[in-house]
Amino acid sequence: MATFLILAVVMIVGAVGVITLKQPVHAALALVGTLLTLAVTYVTLEAHFLAAIQVIVYAGAIMVLFLFVIMLLNIQGETPPAVLAWFRPLAYIVAVVAAAAIATTAFMEPRSLPDEVQIATALQGGGVEPIADVLFSDFLLAFQLVGVLLLTGIIGAVSLVQRKVVAVQEARADGATKELEHA
Amino acid sequence: MVATEYYVALSSILFAIGAVGVLTRRSAIMVFLSVELMLNAANLALVAFARQWSGAGSITALSGQTAVFIILALAAAEVAVGLGILVSIFRYRASTDVDALAEIRL
């Protein structure tokens, strides 16, 4: 119960941060925090594979895409970002603490892993194999439709963002004639 | 073991926060972030229900988790298209304020 309460508090704080923070980058990072907490919650719900996928795909790929677009468009929030004086020292402290924690862990007495049968039973519920069994039998149609959806989505995204070829050629032609006039 | 009700309650809180974000934020990218929050709230509920039914045989038990897997792929496609639309809007207007985008209103 304690684990759940801690996770719930962190998750709700992150979620409130997403909808209240002024800077889009801060809101995106708050969402990353929420998603990582959600991954830990998946572990407590015996969904180990989903927890890994959540970190890799959601907190990794999708949020990086978000941050990429925010920085590409250079969207500013409602107020200009404040330069915080205590930020740099805090960053150094965090770095030192993290390095010390990793170093201490490295030199700690190694604990023996539980035996293989125990691990296998613990991972029974949400491992790759049971999920693959369901995905490629009952959910086969959904799986294939998602494939089509992803293909359509990628083609749609590319055609939305791509500038018109004709316009680019005209711009180049204009540039060329101007250069000729200059010569 | 924490009861499933608590997870569903947490999921509903997250969903409500996401809905508030969608309705109150003006920047389109913030609306997108809130939509992601709502998707994840739904995922949490599905995973919690999957554990609730974990005694009911492999197919039933893991249907929830597999659905989450499919929603993840769907979210990736949605983000790709959504951010593409956002970039192309930004090119014409240099703004992502959703209140200003009212050209096709009758």
Does the distance separating the beta carbons of A161 and B40 come in below 8 Å?
no
Q: Which helix (H) or strand (E) holds B24?
A: helix B4-24
pLDDT in tens, A16-47: 999 998 888 899 999 999 999 999 999 998 88
Which of A 86-145 lie inside 8 A of B, CB atoms? 125-126, 130-131, 133-135, 137-139, 142-143
How far is it, in rounded angstroms, from Cα A178 to Cα A60? 46
**Cα distances (Å, whole numbers) of residue A53 to A63, A179, B70:** 13, 53, 11
pLDDT at A5 over 90: yes
Above 90 in pLDDT, residue B61? no
- For residues B79 and B90, the answer to whether their CB atoms sit within 8 Å is no
Length of chain A: 183
Which of A18, A21, A78, A159 best probes binding to B when mutated, by most B CB atoms within 10 angstroms? A18
Biggest CA pair distance of chain A:
81
Contact partners, residue A61, CB within 8 Å, separation at least 6: B76
Q: How far apart are CA B47 and CA B33, in angstroms?
A: 21
Closest CA to A50 of B60, B71, B77, B13: B71
Cα nearest neighbour of A16 on chain B:
B17
| Rounded-to-integer distance, Cα A85 and Cα A6, Å | 30
The domain over range B4-95 is classified in CATH as 1.10.287.3510 = yes
Please determine, for residue A75, whether its predicted confidence score (pLDDT) is greater than 60: yes
Q: Where are the domains of chain B?
A: 4-95
Q: In chain A, how many H helices and how many E strands?
A: 9, 0
- CATH entry, A1-79, from 1.20.970.10, 1.20.120.1200, 3.40.50.300, 1.10.10.10: 1.20.120.1200
How far is the C-alpha of A165 from the C-alpha of B40, rounded, in Å? 38
Q: Report pLDDT digits (tens) over B83-92.
A: 888 888 888 7
Contact indicator for B23, B35 with CB cutoff of 8 Å: no
DSSP B82: H
Q: Could you say which of B27, B48, B79 has the minimum Cβ distance to residue A45?
A: B48
Where in chain A are the domains? 1-79
What pLDDT does B88 receive?
Answer: 85
Identify the weakest region by mean pLDDT among A24-28, A125-129, B31-35.
A125-129
Residue B7: pLDDT above 80? yes
pLDDT for position A40 = 94
Band the pLDDT of A122: cuts 50, 70, 90.
low
Whole-prediction pTM value?
0.79
The fraction of chain A above a pLDDT of 70, given in percent, is 83
Share the mean pLDDT of chain B.
86
